[in-house]
Amino acid sequence: MLTGSLLTGAALQAGAALTAVPAESFVRPAGADDEAAWTRIAGHYGVARDVVQLENGNFGIMARPVLAAYARHTERVNEQGSYYTRRGYAADAGRILQSAAALLGVSADELVFTRNATEALQALIGGYNRLRPGDAVLYADLDYDSMQTAMRWLHSRRGVDVVTINLPEPATHQGLIDAYEQALQANPRIRLLLLTHVSHRTGLMLPLAEIIAMARARGVDAIVDAAHSWGQADFNFAALQADFVGFNAHKWLGAPLGVGLAYIRKSRVADIDAFMGNDEYGDPLDVRNRVHTGTANFAAVLSLGEALDWHRTLGASAKAARLKYLRDSWAELLRGYGQLQVLTPEDARLSAGITSFRLRGRTGMADNAAIARQLLERFGVFTVARSGVAAGACVRVTPALFTLRAEIDVLTQALKAMAAAP
């Protein structure tokens, strides 16, 4: 415990009272603010509470049932070795892929396992073969760093121009659509967009379906980064009408580290090259030829099955509502307070659980790293500074399903103290 921090209050006391809860004792909360039920759910996570852990965007820790399954799968793979991985693993992984496909409402032959969303998106961006010299591609300031790099790489790889935009701040639903439409109008040679469903920098959630439809009407494709939306936000994937998507399973679905998925609509597989000519699966239109990871963490992939089961037990809508409730409990309460700038808008359509802030006038990365450090050292609240936002760096706050409302109250008290200072 940090001496003198606000953790000596109700949050630490509530956290210390948590004990492991058997999975079979799950009780569905009456709502996002049913703190008694969500505290029991928090007991399904073996999280350390020596700090208020509000940096859960890096990865999502496994719930106890998933962690136990991961241990079992690791032991099985280690015991049986290649006798299992060469004879039984493919069928088991195939059943898990079917489960993921059912959750997304797609066909399993439109999905391929990756190690993470980055690997999935690099395969999609690098393999997209409809670009010709003189075409252009577009990305925004809030897109993920390595995806921006991949889009710039297309200049040397495909001979295309690269167009960048800064998304509006403050953002509005129509303003975001307009930002992309205006860019397409100003640059009619654009043929490909990178779209991040939920930004890792600020938590801004794009009106994805509207932007994809608008772009498609102009003959422009979109590659979607869904690293942070699957499992955090409640959305109908089919309604997005996305053709090329990269997913993480180890962030908001709580699978072990090293599990992701790439999605390619069946009718569009030919538009993504096989990875380095990969022909392992024979059929040139087999989606699995678009990614070649090599030897995977077999136990991690197998544990995705239990992670999907846990996700279904909690319910996508209940998870999303709880994360939004935790977010709103500080972000909307403090919107406009003192020097505090909340970087995701009040419009509920444009945020999920992640939300970033900055203190007015403090836009440098060093400034925001110092703010995050002060939150930790003075108040016992762990967050992370993020750069790359055109309007200035910020501090990201990312709750999880094990986050208690009392811990959000600690953050609120800390931000009030910091934002009120001259």
Same domain (yes/no): 85, 229: yes
State residue 26's pLDDT score: 73
Pair (167, 187) in one structural domain = yes
Q: Which residues of 144-171 are buried (b: 16+ CB within 10 A; e: fewer)?
A: beebbebbeebeeebebeebebebebeb
pLDDT at 8: 39
Tell me the C-alpha distance between 201 and 166, whole Å.
13
The residue out of 268, 291, 311 marking a domain boundary is: 311
Task: Please report which confidence band the pLDDT of residue 280 belongs to, taking 50, 70 and 90 as the band edges.
Answer: confident
Q: What is the number of other CB atoms lying within 10 angstroms of the CB of residue 75?
A: 11
Which pair of structure tokens corresponds to residue 231?
């499992």
* DSSP-assigned beta bridge partners for residue 394: 386
For 15, residues 6+ apart whose C-beta sits below 8 A from its C-beta are 49, 404, 406, 407
pLDDT at position 277 is 87
Q: CA 112 to CA 36: how far, in whole Å?
A: 39
CA quadruple 380, 63, 294, 122: dihedral sign: negative
Residue 100 is assigned to a structural domain of this protein? yes
Instruction: Look at the block and give the residue holding tokens 């790293």.
Output: 369
pLDDT at residue number 22: 55
In 10 A of CB 295, how many CB atoms?
6
Residues 267 and 342 in one domain: no
Least confident piece of the model among 9-23, 90-104, 206-220, 387-401: 9-23
Looking at the structure, do residues 127 and 252 belong to the same domain, yes or no? yes
Is the same domain home to 249 and 103?
Answer: yes
Instruction: State the pLDDT confidence band at 3, using cuts at 50, 70 and 90.
Output: very low
Could you tell me if 377 and 289 lie in one domain? no
pLDDT at residue 1 is higher than 90: no
What's the pLDDT band for 330 if we cut at 50, 70, 90?
Answer: very high
The dihedral region occupied by 16, where left means phi > 0, alpha psi between -120 and 50, and beta the remainder, is alpha
The confidence score (pLDDT) of residue 24 equals: 59
Separation of alpha carbons 5 and 107, rounded Å: 50
| 251-275 residue pLDDT tens | 999 999 999 999 999 999 999 999 9
Q: Is the bond leading into 170 cis (omega within 30 degrees of zero)? A: yes
- Domain finish residue from 286, 311, 336: 311
Give the least confident one: 23-37, 46-60, 102-116, 159-173.
23-37
According to the model, what pLDDT value does residue 27 have? 78
Please check whether residues 374 and 228 belong to one and the same domain: no
> Residue 68: is its pLDDT beyond 90?
yes
Does residue 412 carry a pLDDT above 60? yes
For residue 422, pLDDT over 90 is answered with no
CATH number of the structural domain spanning residue 172: 3.40.640.10
Domain boundary among 288, 311, 334: 311
Among the listed residues 157, 153, 146, 155, the one whose alpha carbon sits nearest the alpha carbon of residue 117: 146
Q: What is the mean pLDDT of residues 184-208?
A: 98
Give the pLDDT confidence score for residue 389 in this predicted structure. 98
pLDDT at 18 over 50: no
Angle, vertex CA 104, rays to CA 101 and CA 106, nearest 5: 55
Over residues 131-181, the pLDDT tens digits come to 999 999 999 999 999 999 999 999 999 999 999 999 999 999 999 999 999
Q: What share of the chain is helix, strand, coil (3-state, %, to 5)?
A: 45, 15, 40
pLDDT tens for residues 346-379?
999 999 999 999 999 999 999 999 999 999 999 9
If we measure between CA atoms, which residue out of 314, 268, 265 comes closest to residue 45? Answer: 314
pLDDT band at 25; cut points 50, 70, 90: low
In DSSP terms, which residues pair with 359 in a beta bridge? 340
Query: In this structure, are residues 206 and 197 in contact, taking their beta carbons and an 8 Å threshold?
Result: yes
Any domain includes 1? no
Are the C-beta atoms of residues 198 and 229 closer than 8 Å to each other?
yes
> Is 51 in the same domain as 79?
no
pLDDT at 231 over 50: yes
CA geometry: angle 262, 228, 91, nearest 5 deg: 35
Q: Is residue 305 part of a domain?
A: yes
Written as six digits, the tokens of 115 are 């190690």
Q: What is the distance, to the nearest Å, from the Cα of residue 172 to the centroid of all Cα atoms in its chain?
A: 21
Mean pLDDT of 221-228: 98
pLDDT of residue 65 exceeding 60:
yes
Q: How confident is the model at residue 11 (pLDDT cuts 50, 70, 90)?
A: very low
Above 90 in pLDDT, residue 10?
no
- Whether residue 300 is predicted with pLDDT greater than 60 in this model: the reply is yes
Helix (H) or strand (E) run with residue 76 in it: helix 64-85
Domain annotation covers residue 380: yes
Q: What is the pLDDT of residue 176?
A: 98
With contact defined as beta carbons under 8 Å apart, do 372 and 397 qualify? no
pTM exceeds 0.75: yes
| Torsion, CA 350, CA 351, CA 355, CA 358, rounded to 10 | 10
Same-domain status, 396 and 263: no
Distances (CA, A) of 284 to 87, 89, 271, 374: 24, 23, 11, 54
Three-state SS for 153?
A: helix
pLDDT band at 16 (very low <50, low <70, confident <90, very high): very low
172: alpha, beta or left? (left if phi > 0; alpha if psi -120 to 50): beta
Residue 161 bridge partners (DSSP):
136
In a domain, 281, yes or no: yes
Q: How many domains does the chain contain in total?
A: 2
Tens of pLDDT, residues 72-95: 999 999 999 999 999 999 999 999
Statement to judge: residues 104 and 196 lie in one domain: yes
92 domain-assigned: yes
| Tokens matching residue 283 | 């059929």
Identify the CATH number of the domain in which residue 10 sits.
Answer: 3.90.1150.10
Could you tell me if 32 and 78 lie in one domain?
no
Task: Please name the residues in contact with 178: beta carbons below 8 A apart, sequence gap of 6 or more.
Answer: none
Per-residue pLDDT averaged across 302-320, rounded?
Answer: 97
State the residue range of the domain holding 79: 69-311
> Does a structural domain hold residue 383?
yes
The whole-number pLDDT of residue 28 equals 86
Please check whether residues 162 and 103 belong to one and the same domain. Answer: yes
Compute the mean pLDDT over every residue in the chain, rounded to the nearest whole number: 93
Residue 29, pLDDT above cutoff 50: yes
Looking at the predicted structure, is the pLDDT value of residue 112 above 90?
yes
For 87, the token pair is 């004879």
Residue 262 lies in a domain: yes
